[in-house]
């Protein structure tokens, strides 16, 4: 039987999350290097800075019941739980990630505040109006239907709740910007295959979808410059001999992901890959 997209995403993160944690720690997302990308800091601190900068930019009005969509091994979930003294639920397609996130919550003494579930963001196992903050940090790119994804986020948000999405996008195609070129399509196709992405869209496309849903105060921002150094940092860390050995022994999908680092770096340099932010209130 041919694996579904969800199966492939699960298998990719089941295989690679342990290596990522060993090399980079608990945060499986970009770092923030100042608005112009010129600030130099420890890579772990840059990842924490990204969370703080996102919160400063979005200014959520309330954060007592938080949903972390695409929670990884719980980095953001645990951080937000401690920062807001909130109850946090994290969802992921990967049982390996959910189990490791649960163990990390136990290690941090946060099991009374944080729980993790294996669940599909396209059909979330929550009743309407369950959360006052829905947080999606670099998971939107995996969603096979961006409209349905944002609809689900809206459904589980309480009135007055905040949605925060940070996701991989491609550049705008809105005139006077030209359509994507064959070369750009080729690069995107390679990234889709290796990172198990159905497709990505522009930041303006996300805004248009959100504006058709029961959201108001829809805002967007492009932080591509601020996060672009991340991929060069990852490539530098991968040059460590012990890391190279771990990559080589982690399996084919993890090896492909490592080899694709240069593609992501090239996508940022060419202006094709963009780092988009969306914030909205229900």
Beta strands at 157-170 and 273-281: parallel, antiparallel or unpaired = antiparallel
Question: Residue 257 has what pLDDT?
Answer: 56
DSSP letters spanning the chain: -PPPHHHHHHHHHHHHHHHHHHHH-S--S-----TTS-----HHHHHHHHHHHHHHHH--S--SEEEEES-TTSHHHHHHHHHHT-EEEEEES-HHHHHHHHHHHHHTT-TTTEEEEE--GGG-SS-TT-EEEEEEES-GGG-S-HHHHHHHHHHHEEEEEEEEEEEEEE---STTSPPPPHHHHHHHHHHHHHHT-S----HHHHHHHHHTTT-EEEEEEE-HHHHTHHHHHHHHHTTSHHHHHHHHHS-HHHHHHHHTHHHHHHHHHHT-EEEEEEEEE-
Q: How many CB atoms lie within 10 A of CB 216?
A: 10
Q: How far is CA 139 from the centre of its chain?
A: 4
pLDDT tens, per residue, the chain with 282 residues:
678 999 999 998 998 888 788 878 899 999 999 999 999 888 889 999 999 999 999 999 889 999 999 999 999 999 999 999 999 999 999 999 999 999 999 999 999 999 999 999 999 999 999 999 999 999 999 999 999 999 999 999 999 999 999 999 999 999 999 999 999 999 999 999 988 999 999 999 999 999 999 999 999 999 999 999 988 887 676 666 666 556 556 655 655 656 667 888 899 999 999 999 999 999
Token couple for 220: 């967007």
> How many whole angstroms separate alpha carbon 164 and alpha carbon 277?
7
* Token pair of 122 as six digits: 């396209």
Q: Is the peptide bond before 176 cis (omega within 30 degrees of 0)?
A: yes
Q: What integer pLDDT is reported at residue 179 of this predicted model?
A: 95
Judge if pTM exceeds 0.85: yes
* pLDDT for position 233: 81
Give all domains of the chain, ordered by start, each with its CATH number: 5-281 (3.40.50.150)
């Amino acid at each position: 039987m041919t694996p579904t997209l969800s199966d492939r995403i699960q298998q990719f993160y089941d295989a690679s999350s342990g290596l990522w944690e060993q090399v980079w720690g608990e945060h499986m997302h970009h770092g923030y290097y100042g608005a112009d990308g010129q600030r130099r800091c420890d890579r772990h601190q840059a990842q924490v800075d990204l969370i703080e900068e996102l919160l400063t930019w979005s200014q959520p009005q309330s954060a007592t019941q938080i949903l972390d969509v695409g929670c990884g091994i719980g980095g953001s979930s645990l951080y937000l739980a401690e920062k807001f003294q909130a109850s946090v639920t994290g969802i992921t397609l990967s049982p390996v990630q959910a189990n490791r996130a649960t163990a990390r919550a136990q290690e941090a003494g946060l099991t009374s505040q944080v729980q993790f579930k294996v669940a599909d963001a396209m059909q979330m196992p929550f009743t309407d109006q369950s959360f006052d903050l829905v947080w999606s940090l670099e998971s939107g790119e995996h969603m096979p239907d961006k409209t349905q994804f944002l609809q689900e986020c809206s459904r589980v948000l309480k009135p007055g709740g905040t949605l925060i999405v940070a996701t991989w996008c491609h550049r705008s195609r809105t005139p006077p910007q030209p359509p994507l070129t064959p070369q750009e399509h080729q690069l995107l196709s390679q990234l889709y295959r290796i990172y198990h992405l159905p497709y990505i869209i522009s930041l303006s496309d996300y805004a248009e979808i959100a504006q058709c849903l029961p959201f108001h105060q829809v805002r967007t921002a492009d932080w591509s410059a601020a996060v672009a150094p991340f991929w060069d940092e990852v490539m530098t860390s991968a040059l460590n001999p012990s890391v190279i050995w771990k990559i080589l022994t982690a399996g084919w999908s993890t090896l492909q992901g490592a080899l694709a680092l240069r593609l992501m770096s090239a996508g940022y340099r060419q202006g094709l890959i963009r780092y988009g932010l969306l914030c909205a209130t229900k």
